[in-house]
Amino acid sequence: MEYEVTIGLEVHCEVSSATKMFSKGINGYNEIPNSNVNQVDLAFPGILPTVNEEALKKGIKMALALNCEVPDVLMFDRKNYYYPDLPKGFQITQSKKPIGTNGYINVYVGDKVKRIDIVDIHIEEDTASLDHYDTYSLINYNRAGVPLFETVTAPCMHSVDEAIAFLDALRKIFLYTGVSEARLDRGQMRCDVNVSIAPVGSNVLGTRVEIKNIPSFINVKGAIIAEIERQKEALKNGEEIYQETRRYDENDGKTYRMREKVDGVDYKYFTEPNIPPYRISNELIEEVRNTLPRLQFERIDEYVNKYEVSLVDAKSIVKEKSVADYYEEVIKLGVNPKIASNWMANTVLGYLNKEEKDINDIYLTPNMLAEIIEMVESNKISSKQGKDVFNKVLEENKEPKVIVDELGIKQIANEDELRVIVNEVLNENMNMVEQYKNGKNLFNFFVGQVMKKTSGQANPALANKIMKEEIDKRWK
């Protein structure tokens, strides 16, 4: 039987901020364990939460980026459960009025656009981190209270590729907006995956299974694939799929049952009484909206549809906001966007990847790149010379004009001048011309000789054209 897969994601992302979500404690998870904690983070008796306004604004920013509705009143709720990673015995989160609801984003899955519906994004505080050893566990409270945003999608994805494309797009939004560093290597993004399968054409979803706390996209992929296979196998054998929570073991690529019934835990949610309802004014929303950068999808759309950039190039350029911003700077200087995109996707990104450098750290400014492209486009230098200049600029930290002068490169683009040289070459190689006439393909050899004579300064296209004309003359 053919099955359709349905996937929903819950993505936790740690937010960059000076202080924690509800305390003045420093948000510095990676420093010496338990060095960034205060009485509020450790829930000593008598402490009270205070809302971090920077993080609140970032919450609004993300809600807007995900096209969500922002409520008019800010409210928080308590989620009650006992665990040593949760000093208060409850987590302050948002269940009744999340900072964003009913949103969506468009993402590219390959070359197709897919709309992903966002149920909500809410603000909460992270727990401490626990390391378990054989006979003891270590707790690091640096992470306790770090602002955390949880994004919940609708069950609207139907393949691993769609899920990964969404995660990648979401991560890019966190990076573009500066809300989070979203570093996967530091566990700043963690994911719960809900997977169900149902026979193709069925209008009822299958039983949902949740796989909790997956730290990397590769493991999300592994977990989904493993879980789909497990469920298919179970159905094939006539077994029932239970609503349960499972975990993914990356070592053997399988999922294992943690507990039955996803909704089995009663967190006894109720409104946090220590944070009075706070009005989110339209002015505040607009203030935040003005800080929202153009996001990845919007830029790809513009590059491809307005500038006729290839989808592949557009996707590589927008991978990092700084690269996309750089590209747009170059365009603003009057360079043809399509030509600029070739330079960006091939030459610039090629260099950055090879040298493992950040675009903000290189000597070559958008102005310089525009200058090099202009010289090539106006035939002042050949495109090969353009690449040489590009490399020299980066090697020697000198402006393109200086490099051009130093190398003494210019292009012979004068037809008469070139025609003289072409005829020189042909006259010097009469027997080769004979062979050419007898069918030996020596055309490129002749052009090569022209390039050699001019120390590479002949415009190759023009040299080709004139060579062809002169040979044709002699042919007759």
Partner 1 sequence: MLLEDMIKSNNNLVKESLEKANKYQEEYNSFVTIIDNANNDKDGMLKGIPYGIKDNFSTKGILSTASSNILKNYVPFFDATVYEKLNNAGAVCIGKTVLDELAMGGSGTTGHTGAVKNPWDKTRLIGGSSAGSASSVALGIVPFAIGSDTGDSVRKPAIYGGIVGYKPTYGLISRYGLFPFACSLDHVGIFTRSVKDVSIVLDTIKGYDEKDMTSLKVETPSFYENINSNVKGKKLFYIKELLDINNYKDDMDEELVSIFDNFKKSIELCKELGMEVSEVSIDKRLLEAVFPTYFAISCAEATSNNSNLTGIIFGPRGEGASIDEIMFDARTKGFSELIKRRFVLGSYILQKENQEKLFLNAGRIRRLIVDKFTELFKEYDALILPGSGSVAPTFKSEDIDKLSDRYLLLENHMAIGNFGGFPSISIPSGFVNNMPIGLSLTSGVLEDQKLLDIAYALEGKMEYKGQIAKGDN
The footprint of partner 1 (CB under 8 A) covers 39, 42-51, 78, 80, 82-84, 87-90, 137, 266, 268, 270, 273-276
Report the nearest approach of partner 1 to the CB of residue 80 (Å).
Answer: 5
Write the burial class of residue 158 (CB in 10 Å: 0-12 exposed, 13-18 middle, 19+ buried): middle
Q: Between the CA of residue 399 and those of 105, 334, 405, what are the distances in Å?
A: 42, 19, 10
* Residue 382, SS3 per DSSP: coil
Query: Based on CB atoms, which residue is closest to partner 1, 162 or 272?
Result: 272
Cβ neighbours, 10 Å, residue 381: 25
Count other Cβ atoms within 10 Å, centred on residue 148. Answer: 23
In the bound complex, what is the minimum distance in angstroms from residue 83's beta carbon to partner 1?
8
Single out the residue of 242, 193, 216, 282 nearest to residue 9, CA to CA: 193
Q: 18 vs 312, which CB is nearer to partner 1?
A: 18
Nearer to partner 1, 49 or 366 (CB): 49
Joined tokens for residue 50: 């205070």
Shortest reach from residue 252's CB to partner 1, in Å: 26
Q: How far is the CB of 375 from partner 1 (least distance, A)?
A: 60
Chain-centroid distance, C-alpha 384: 31
Residue closer to partner 1, measured from CB, 183 or 268 = 268
Closest CB to partner 1 among 273 and 408?
273
Task: Please provide the DSSP assignment of 77-144 as one string.
Answer: EEEE---TT-TTSEEEE-SSS-SEEEEEEEEEETTEEEEEEEEEEEEEEPPPEEEE-SS-EEEEGGGT
CB 28 → partner 1: shortest distance, Å? 19
Q: Which is nearer to partner 1, 83 or 256 (CB)?
A: 83
Strand partners, 129: 140
Residue 80 or 322: the one with the smaller Cβ distance to partner 1 is: 80
Output the smallest distance, CB 45 to partner 1, in A: 4
Q: How far is the CB of 141 from partner 1 (least distance, A)?
A: 8
